[in-house]
Chains A and B, each alone.
Chain A
Amino acid sequence: METLSARADTEKEKAITTPKPPGKRMKSVWRSIVQQKYLYLMSMPFIVWVFVFSYLPVWGWTMAFQNYKPSKSFSQQKWVGFKNFVDLFHDERFYLVLRNTLAMSLMGLVAGFIIPILFAVLLNELRGKYFKRTVQTVSYLPHFVSWVVVAGIITKMLSMDGIVNELLIQLHVIDGPVQFMAEGKYFWGIVTASDVWKETGWNAIIYLAAITGIDRELYEAARVDGAGRFRQIWNITLPGIRTTISVLLIMSIGHLIGIGFEKQFQLSNSLVTDYSEVLDLYALKYGIQISRFSYGTAISMFTSVVSIILLLTANGIMKKTTKESIM
């Protein structure tokens, strides 16, 4: 979205700046700084800020190619080339962690993408004004609660005497209570379901707004033609929010591998680590807890690079197929 606004900038600027002869350029740059000193004063301190806290850590990627020792200065570090990456790709644990990351992010992508759209469409079709508003307000609620709290709640609901076990027994789906939190095979599903529970309402906001923007007359016309509610949804609502869907899809694909680790950290326990450990947790464990800084950096770097490649690929494919893109 911001690259789009950057593009809008250039267009606006083109209209404003007139070409200058090269010799006077420096002088005029300086003059414009003086002229706009307040604007520079208001923005530059924060630019320095962003440089320090967002750009400097990227410089830290050099650590991935060193045998980094915190006590030494940059020039004293020993360079080891791609050794840390070679080690990484030879670690069996890495592939397990990569599998977990991809599995959970793919599940999250599918569920976390489709369910909010469905929710928004259904909510839009709701006729009772007060009921609609209640559902909407309540649906945002879990978004504002931390993962610490959500994990506590989920653990409670899935415990041996929790409501989920009780319901499943009442419905004769299972004979006795299941220890959901203690078995690795359930972990991916639990993480995905928790995420859906927490974020569906919030993610639906954008789709709801997009649906509101659809011309009402289209629905009237469809109804005159005898289209039922499903047909209207299929032929008007969904095409009407296609642009929004594509943009959000590209963005979520970009975040596919960098899914973070909060939910996994909070929901996991020692019994399920083979299914719960994701790249960021792996980096945390090796990089910080046992002080293999260079190795941890290599993991972080791998994650970032793959994210960017995924983002660019998704963007390229979308551009080709649907003419929608974010850059």
Chain B
Amino acid sequence: MAATRAFNSTRSDKIFDIINVVILGLVLMITLYPFLNVLAISLNDSTDTVRGGIYLWPREFTLENYRTIFSYSSLKQGFLITILRTLLGTLLGLISSSMLAYTLSRPDFKARRFVSVFLALTMYFSGGMVPTYMLMRHLHLIGTFWIYILPGIVSAFNVFIIRSFIDGLPYALQESAKLDGANDFKIYYKVILPLCKPVLATISLFLAVGQWNSWFDTYLYNGNKPHLTTLQYELMKILQSTNQGASMVNANDLANQMAQVSPESIKMAITIVVTVPILVVYPFLQRYFVDGMTLGAVKA
């Protein structure tokens, strides 16, 4: 847009610009305010919060809410499981989608069209909730940690994004590696993977965010397994307990702690704890995922 500025801007152009800045400024505020508000409440003294009127700054600053939530045993367990599933799920998802994408990018691969269509179809239909549930039951995955990892290992969408990226790389690189005597696996591992770092960064973010944010598998399959609980699921239980009273959630340790502190500030503190890891990561990967999304959708 720098070129635009050089041109003489008319009066109506200036008015347009001002209105545009105002509109987008409003959008900025609407997006950001809820997060800042939650942060302020989480840092405010819990009994004081009840009085209301906390906007962008805590009125009576305290870290007590955070200290309290870190003493919940269910949250600690949830943290552990969530981190574990995020790491493992991301790693396995990366391996599977990059390998598949590589084979799909090879024009001489005989099964390519079959694999491509076989994968693509999964994007348009699914068996639905009940058949999937029954499948998990047959596979004895219900009540295990693996239910968080195994069903989601291959994602067609991610495969196609990586594949578009590989298609953009010069094929001569692979051919020269082949002349040097490298087999297909070696080419994938030594030539393709290092070149794919930007797109792999994007896919890692997608996979990690997906794992970090998921709650439904815990709810559906592992709801009665406290040692397999996840952060989002615990947060959900605590957030939804507002009206029914805190003691319903987790009778053993929450109830007595909730009695001493206002749930509001505690809830907001947990929300912040669950959200912060993602907020820390995504701006750094922004450049990559913008390219990745563009590759995946526009190139088609």
Contacts and interface: CB of A to CB of B under 8 A. Distances in A.
17 contacts: A2-B119, A46-B100, A50-B119, A53-B154, A54-B126, A58-B126, A131-B24, A139-B31, A148-B213, A148-B215, A148-B232, A154-B34, A216-B3, A287-B129, A287-B133, A293-B130, A304-B126
Interface string B233-267: 00110010011000000000000000000000001
A60 B135 contact: yes
B179 interface: no
A293 to B, nearest CB: 6
Interface in B9-30: 10, 12-13, 16-17, 20-21, 23-24, 27-28, 30
Interface residues of A, number: 109
A109 interface: no
Contacts of A304: 125-128
B177 to A, nearest CB: 13
B251 to A, nearest CB: 21
Contacts of B296: 1
A300 B286 contact: no
Interface stretch (B59-67, B68-76, B193-201, B276-284): B276-284
B282 to A, nearest CB: 5
A127 B127 contact: no
Contacts of B300: 1-2, 4-5, 247, 326
A170 to B, nearest CB: 13
Which secondary structure characterizes the binding site on chain A? helix
A304 B131 CA distance: 12
Nearest to A51: B118
B279 A141 contact: yes
Interface string A275-299: 0000010011001100001001101
Contacts of A147: 213
B80 interface: no
Interface stretch (A85-93, A94-102, A183-191, A203-211): A203-211
Interface string B71-97: 000000000000000000000000010
A179 to B, nearest CB: 11
B116 A9 contact: yes
A213 B298 CA distance: 10
B127 A13 contact: no
Interface in A35-72: 36, 38-44, 46-47, 49-50, 52-61, 63, 70
Q: Which 4 A-B pairs have the closest CB atoms?
A: A300-B128, A57-B127, A60-B131, A1-B300
Interface string B31-56: 11111011001000000000011010
Given A122-B23, A125-B20, A146-B274, A156 B120 contact: no
Interface of A: 1-6, 9-10, 12-13, 16, 29, 32-33, 36, 38-44, 46-47, 49-50, 52-61, 63, 70, 119, 122-128, 131, 134-135, 137-142, 144-149, 151-157, 161, 163, 197, 201, 205-206, 209-210, 213, 216, 219-220, 223, 228-230, 244, 247-248, 254, 262, 265-266, 269, 280, 283-284, 287-288, 293, 296-297, 299-301, 303-304, 307-308, 311, 326
Given A36-B109, A141-B32, A213-B298, 12 more contacts: A42-B99, A50-B122, A57-B134, A122-B24, A135-B28, A155-B239, A157-B37, A163-B55, A229-B13, A296-B130, A297-B131, A308-B125
Contacts of B38: 152-153, 156
Interface residues of B, number: 107
Contacts of A228: 10, 12-13, 16
A149 B274 contact: yes
B184 A163 contact: no
B224 interface: no
B235 A148 contact: yes
A149 B271 contact: yes
Contact of A41 (B32, B115, B185, B215): B185
A205 B290 contact: yes
B184 A296 contact: no
Contacts of A153: 34-35, 38, 271
Nearest to A9: B113
B191 interface: no
B31 A141 contact: yes
Given A139-B27, A140-B286, A5 B129 contact: no
Contact of B132 (A42, A57, A155, A303): A57
A156 B272 CA distance: 14
A154 B129 CA distance: 27
Contacts of A288: 129-130, 133, 220
